[in-house]
């Protein structure tokens, strides 16, 4: 398959380097280079948001023509209600938005016809729009601004997205919802903290719980409650004295309690973090992606992909191949492996597992005379375990909805998660830097398979150092440490380079220079080397006090460089910050996106 020319505009954004700096961009402002787009790149973040939102509202006029048009209206209201249900388990709900008018879908049956008329509906029709029929073009789907991340103790740069989400939802008069990506695997159950013991600076891992690593977040439980409860005291004892653990002590009791109430360590972590956001006026809703994946709209989305099975897999693999070409990636496993194809079997970008066997497995599908067959892949082979889906697409949707009662989890992988989120669930999606890079592939998949341009997305991140140290940069400190090591080496091996020594001991300098002029041939240097060593020993004896002092100075500088690097690392967990962090992130987001409230189409 011939590849198109490489994209001329690969995303090259970098996280801010300085303390308390945020970044906000849009995919639209990064994708073009004419004069108008250059002006967008120099616009304020608030202006970029306004341009992005207005572009999305123009797109909404074409919504009824999209392949998934019928799903959008009901899907967004359902997600909104699910987010309310989830959030109200542990927090007060924000006021019902008065600037939106949630639509009622009670007049539409599951086939999309208000009167039940099934004319024109036929088995296996891949051209039909899924879900309730799209209301009249003057109606509007619920305006949702989404973001998402795994339910873990991430760093402040990731947390900043949630505050930007709230600020963007305010500015666009939409509803901000944060998805808890709980189909991803738990990578660690430890907290890495900076330790500083007698000048030795290093990273130390403190266990927060045992077990759960390698399981999806949805299946992660608090396995050792006593260990979890004692985490703040153990972290306090291990962390360097210059680390302010105020936020850890503030949120941990809620995280422990809610982890047990919500039946998941990741859920407890996310809920406690969400409560800290609400305390400073950040009022997003949250919901696990697993809840959204047990809705009718997600089942319809899966069936839509199955109807285009071969072209979808081909488009997916082509998009990944193009991305490797754009960024000159040689490994076939990066950034994602191709979907596997063998005979009639085609791998789908889905995970499947059961509550009884909570280990994610790859999913493959093939067409059968009566519909589709789903199975799992292990060791590049399709296993005998399978599920039959009916050729009648509406009945196939009902079958997928029945997976939940069987405790079978069918979940999207990375690209399918944002494809579903951007195409159906939201007006706009807010990414971090990594997600923004990957979604270039998502855009290509939609274009290759359905000839559709997905909505543009926003990008946000920030850099927050664990302390407010601002005296010297790490480069400056490293330069001082290097200069100290160079001076120490001169004291040991070339004291004639030191002006004071050369002035005080000119004969020593002259003797060494004479020896350097009279270097004997190879094999005859033993006596010459002894004379050089004798001279150096005399100098070292004379300079021993200065050598000792310089050694201590170099060790101190090296320790300071190591400490400074740890302090300026932006990847520390949010737990290692003072209680003022949420307010600071909230204020930065509000300032960054300061712009007049935008009106939705039709609101005047």
- How many CB atoms are located within 10 Å of the residue 360 CB? 20
Looking at residue 469, what is its pLDDT?
65
Q: What is the mean pLDDT of the chain?
A: 84
Looking at 198-252, which runs of residues are DSSP E strands? Answer: 200-207
Mean pLDDT of 369-374: 94
Distance of alpha carbon 97 from alpha carbon 74, whole angstroms? 18
The residue to which tokens 């973001």 are assigned = 147
pTM for the whole structure: 0.84
Please write the tens of the pLDDT for every residue from 422-447: 989 998 999 998 888 888 899 999 99
> Does the pLDDT of residue 53 top 80, yes or no?
no
213 neighbors 190 (Cβ within 8 angstroms): no
Looking at residue 474, what is its pLDDT?
72
Looking at 130-171, which runs of residues are DSSP E strands? Answer: 144-149
Distance of alpha carbon 422 from alpha carbon 440, whole angstroms? 12
396 neighbors 372 (Cβ within 8 angstroms): yes
Domain ranges of the chain: 21-112+124-152+290-466, 475-518+528-567
In sequence order, which residues have a C-beta less than 8 Å from that of residue 147 and are 6 or more positions away? 161, 162, 165, 176, 177, 178, 179, 429, 430, 431
38 neighbors 358 (Cβ within 8 angstroms): no
Distance of alpha carbon 281 from alpha carbon 56, whole angstroms? 27
Looking at residue 471, what is its pLDDT?
61
Looking at residue 472, what is its pLDDT?
61
Please write the tens of the pLDDT for every residue from 249-305: 999 999 999 999 998 999 999 999 999 999 999 999 999 999 999 999 999 999 999
pLDDT band, residue 31 (cuts 50/70/90): low
Q: Which range (474-478, 540-544, 551-555, 572-576) has the least confidence? A: 474-478
Nearest to 132 by CA among 82, 63, 83, 75: 75
Nearest to 129 by CA among 380, 304, 248: 304
Task: Select the more confidently predicted residue: 577 or 470.
Answer: 577
pLDDT band, residue 384 (cuts 50/70/90): low
Tokens describing residue 2: 């011939």
Mean pLDDT of 65-91: 86
Looking at residue 408, what is its pLDDT?
95
Please write the tens of the pLDDT for every residue from 493-526: 999 999 999 999 999 999 999 999 999 998 888 9
Looking at residue 279, what is its pLDDT?
96
Please write the tens of the pLDDT for every residue from 229-245: 999 999 999 999 999 99
Please write the tens of the pLDDT for every residue from 186-217: 999 999 999 988 778 899 999 999 888 999 99
Please write the tens of the pLDDT for every residue from 456-482: 899 999 999 998 765 667 778 889 999
| 33-37, 476-480, 490-494: range with highest mean pLDDT | 490-494
Q: Which range (28-32, 310-314, 473-477) has the least confidence? A: 28-32
For the chain, the residue count is: 604
> Does the pLDDT of residue 104 top 60, yes or no?
no
Looking at residue 467, what is its pLDDT?
87
Task: Give the rounded distance of the alpha carbon of 380 from its chain centre.
Answer: 29
Nearest to 148 by CA among 351, 288, 296, 292: 288
Nearest to 142 by CA among 456, 455, 458, 427: 427
Looking at residue 141, what is its pLDDT?
66
Crossing angle (nearest 10°) for helices 393-401 and 296-307: 130
Crossing angle (nearest 10°) for helices 526-542 and 544-567: 80
Nearest to 202 by CA among 212, 210, 189, 193: 193
Please write the tens of the pLDDT for every residue from 5-28: 445 455 677 899 889 999 998 887
The three-point CA angle 321-325-328 to 5° equals 130
Distance of alpha carbon 363 from alpha carbon 63, whole angstroms? 30
Collapse the DSSP code of 596 into the 3-class scheme (helix H, G, I; strand E, B; otherwise coil) and give the result: coil
């Amino acid at each position: 398959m011939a590849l198109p020319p490489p994209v001329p505009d690969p995303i090259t954004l970098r996280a801010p380097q300085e303390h308390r700096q945020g970044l906000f961009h849009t995919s639209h402002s990064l994708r073009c280079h004419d004069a108008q787009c250059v002006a967008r790149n120099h616009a304020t973040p608030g202006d970029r948001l306004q341009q992005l939102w207005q572009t999305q509202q123009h797109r909404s006029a074409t919504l009824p023509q999209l392949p998934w048009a019928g799903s959008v209206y009901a899907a967004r209201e359902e997600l909104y209600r699910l987010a309310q249900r989830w959030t109200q388990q542990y927090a007060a709900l924000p006021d019902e938005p008065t600037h939106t008018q949630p639509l009622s879908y009670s007049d539409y049956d599951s086939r999309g016809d208000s009167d039940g008329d099934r004319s024109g509906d036929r088995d296996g029709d891949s051209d039909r729009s899924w879900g309730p029929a799209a209301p009249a073009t003057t109606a509007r789907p619920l305006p949702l601004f989404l973001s998402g991340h795994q339910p873990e103790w991430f760093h402040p740069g990731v947390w900043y997205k949630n505050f930007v989400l709230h600020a963007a939802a305010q500015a666009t008069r939409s509803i901000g919802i944060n998805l808890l990506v709980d189909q991803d695997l738990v990578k660690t159950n430890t907290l890495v903290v900076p330790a500083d013991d007698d000048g030795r600076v290093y990273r130390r891992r403190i266990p927060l719980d045992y077990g759960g690593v390698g399981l999806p977040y949805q299946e992660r439980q608090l396995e050792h409650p006593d260990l979890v409860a004692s985490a703040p005291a153990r972290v306090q004892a291990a962390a360097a004295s210059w680390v302010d653990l105020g936020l850890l002590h503030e949120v941990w009791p809620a995280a422990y309690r809610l982890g047990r109430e919500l039946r998941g360590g990741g859920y407890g972590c996310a809920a406690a973090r969400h409560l800290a956001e609400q305390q400073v006026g950040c009022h997003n809703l949250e919901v696990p992606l697993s809840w959204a994946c047990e809705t009718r709209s997600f089942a319809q989305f899966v069936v839509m992909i199955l109807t285009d099975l071969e072209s979808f897999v081909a488009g997916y693999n082509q998009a990944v191949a193009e991305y490797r070409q754009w960024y000159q990636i040689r490994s076939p496993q990066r950034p994602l492996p191709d979907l596997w194809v063998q005979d009639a079997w085609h791998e789908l970008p889905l995970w499947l597992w059961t509550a009884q066997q909570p280990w994610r497995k790859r999913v493959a599908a093939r067409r059968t005379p009566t519909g589709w067959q789903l199975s799992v892949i292990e060791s590049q082979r399709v296993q005998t375990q399978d599920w039959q889906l009916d050729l009648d697409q509406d009945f196939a949707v009902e079958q997928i909805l029945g997976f939940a009662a069987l405790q079978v989890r069918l979940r999207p992988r990375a690209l399918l998660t944002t494809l579903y989120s951007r195409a159906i669930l939201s007006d706009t999606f807010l990414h971090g830097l990594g997600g923004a890079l990957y979604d270039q592939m998502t855009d290509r998949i939609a274009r290759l398979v359905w000839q559709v341009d997905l909505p543009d997305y926003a990008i946000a991140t920030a850099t927050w150092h664990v302390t407010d140290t601002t005296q010297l940069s790490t480069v400056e400190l490293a330069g001082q440490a290097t200069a100290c090591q160079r001076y120490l080496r001169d004291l040991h091996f070339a004291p004639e380079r030191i002006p004071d020594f050369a002035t005080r001991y000119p004969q020593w300098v002259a003797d060494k220079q004479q020896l350097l002029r009279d270097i004997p041939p190879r094999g005859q240097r033993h006596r010459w080397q002894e004379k050089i060593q004798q001279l150096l020993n005399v100098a070292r004896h004379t300079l021993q006090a200065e050598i000792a002092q310089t050694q201590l100075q170099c060790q101190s500088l090296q320790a300071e460089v190591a400490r400074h690097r740890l302090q300026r690392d932006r990847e520390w967990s949010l737990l290692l910050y003072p209680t003022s962090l949420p307010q600071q992130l909230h204020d930065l987001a509000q300032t960054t996106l300061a712009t007049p409230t935008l009106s939705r189409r039709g609101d005047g």
